[in-house]
Structure 1
């Protein structure tokens, strides 16, 4: 049986997205999303995908993982899975497996994004001269960022674990919220606020501050009620979340000097997109003291594409011809 060149996968804290790749191009008709909770291991999820697509094996795989990547075994940060390149390679019929950080993959996708999938959030009145450095920032199950910058030998991606820095606050009320987020943790990290669970905890704190009972709203439910404007506490939580996001994005612009622009992504970010064009986000983004003018000159957009990391994975995959012939493998 003929097998396509490779497999692209994006393993997040909640969902896994997979696609087949032909000569560096994601085959959109093969894209699927699985819930991690439906599988005991990443190998089981990948094996199920291969069975569903009729592909017994792949020549190579590039897999983006929501965790620091150092070597061939990666323990996920916000999920109990451990990804092992050797075990995954066996499921794929002996494929060469490469791991990337999930935001590393997103950064590699920036040059291939369809402009129609980018919604402008902040368009500067006077844009700075771009230095070519761009930043992708996102909040979902967790939070992270990565930069893409040009070098003499081509593009380079810089990654980190930005969600595990300490959350900055600028008022007494925010300090009380910070203390609530820090209970039994010693401190409040950025990810404790800027994530789905963080939105829920911000909502809980606002309920306690107002002396109101805490309803059993999910993060998605909080976002929906905030957008509808029917629940004042959900609305306050969403605006506080947007304020924190703006502040952190502004700090990251200064850290990476990403004058080429910022792309926002992530499921929670998209669910609260309405609040990104409101003063809470934009004021926090641009209020950077003596560097406010610099940050204000950087364009910000929202990526309406939940599968962009697959494109980034495909761009890092070895190209070995359109179709390879491999022996049939029983999995």
Structure 2
């Protein structure tokens, strides 16, 4: 295989997605997804992938990681892996290794979107500005967001990232406050990620059960989402609607912070698992409820990015 090959990796708290990149584009026939729990180290997962793909020697590698990025040694936020650029470079045959925050990669993926993977949630009558800032907002194992600012003089746009999952959970009503207090128990505070994540979905479900005077059942987040979609468990349905209300409030706040007139793109495993509830009233009512800026956020396009491998394209864009 050619030395022009590169490796793209999207390393989340639960899964690692990998692909080879050739001439700046992801080779879709090489995309795989591994469970992090099946490997003791990232080197073990990447080494297994290289063996399965014929041991290609890669000239470069861009790894999107669910963690703050600083330096050449990264400790993940929601998993016990540590990634070291030198070790990974040697594994790949002395490749140039670059680390990105996973949402930085997702934001870069917005520059070359597969329109067929977009599910419309809010489409305003007026077209958004062609050079408007766009944001990607994701809820999966954790929560975060990133903005893609338009290029000033051609070339790539500029990405701004943060740690949005660790913002304080917004509260507006007495019921929101009760949920906030449940999520904050033993922790001192409730962050956005305490609700808008897989474990957060489970805790929102627990709160609904206790509010109804019932002992929470042993449902995992995926089972709660499945029961909500099927409509077989009223408490799971109530949980999904409450979760969408929170997502709408937070996504609307993020849209205002970044002035994301170009669009808001929702992603993440939990958001995708609850897709049918995006068409119910809770999400958009909360997204638009911004007082004097209700008109502004009502004019922002909102989509669900139904692509589990979008971050790989963002990695490829950086090679």
* Fold match by TM threshold 0.5: yes
- Following TM superposition, by how much is the alpha carbon of 1:174 offset from its aligned partner in structure 2, in angstroms? 1.1
Mapping of 1:1-331 within 5 angstroms? 2-127=2-127, 129=129, 131-153=131-153, 154=155, 155-317=157-319
Cα 1:69–1:209, aligned 2, differ >3 Å: closer, same or farther? same
Instruction: Mark the runs of 5 or more structure 1 residues left unpaired by the alignment.
Output: 318-331
Contact 1:14 1:141 in 2 (8 A): yes
- Following TM superposition, by how much is the alpha carbon of 1:2 offset from its aligned partner in structure 2, in angstroms? 3.9
Could you tell me the TM-score, scaled by structure 1's length?
A: 0.94
Contact 1:196 1:268 in 2 (8 A): yes
Contact 2:128 2:301 in 1 (8 A): no
Cα 1:316–1:72, aligned 2, differ >3 Å: closer, same or farther? same
Contact 1:128 1:294 in 2 (8 A): no
Report the more deviating stretch, 3-12 or 270-279.
3-12
- Following TM superposition, by how much is the alpha carbon of 1:130 offset from its aligned partner in structure 2, in angstroms? 5.2
Report the more deviating stretch, 120-129 or 84-93.
120-129
| Cα separation, 2, equivalents of 1:272 and 1:297 | 24
What do residues 177-232 of structure 1 show as CA deviations (whole Å, max 9, x unaligned)?
Answer: 10110011110000000000000000000001111121010101001111111111
Cα 1:126–1:215, aligned 2, differ >3 Å: closer, same or farther? same
Contact 1:4 1:20 in 2 (8 A): no
- Following TM superposition, by how much is the alpha carbon of 1:55 offset from its aligned partner in structure 2, in angstroms? 2.2
What do residues 41-71 of structure 1 show as CA deviations (whole Å, max 9, x unaligned)?
Answer: 0011001100000024211100000011011
| Cα separation, 2, equivalents of 1:23 and 1:72 | 25
| Cα separation, 2, equivalents of 1:109 and 1:152 | 18
Could you tell me the TM-score, scaled by structure 2's length?
A: 0.97
Partner SS, residue 312 of structure 1? helix
Instruction: Mark the runs of 5 or more structure 2 residues left unpaired by the alignment.
Output: none
| Cα separation, 2, equivalents of 1:287 and 1:277 | 16
| Cα separation, 1, equivalents of 2:151 and 2:78 | 33
Structural RMSD (CA): 1.1
| Cα separation, 1, equivalents of 2:127 and 2:90 | 50
| Cα separation, 2, equivalents of 1:277 and 1:252 | 20
Contact 1:10 1:309 in 2 (8 A): yes
Aligned residues: 317
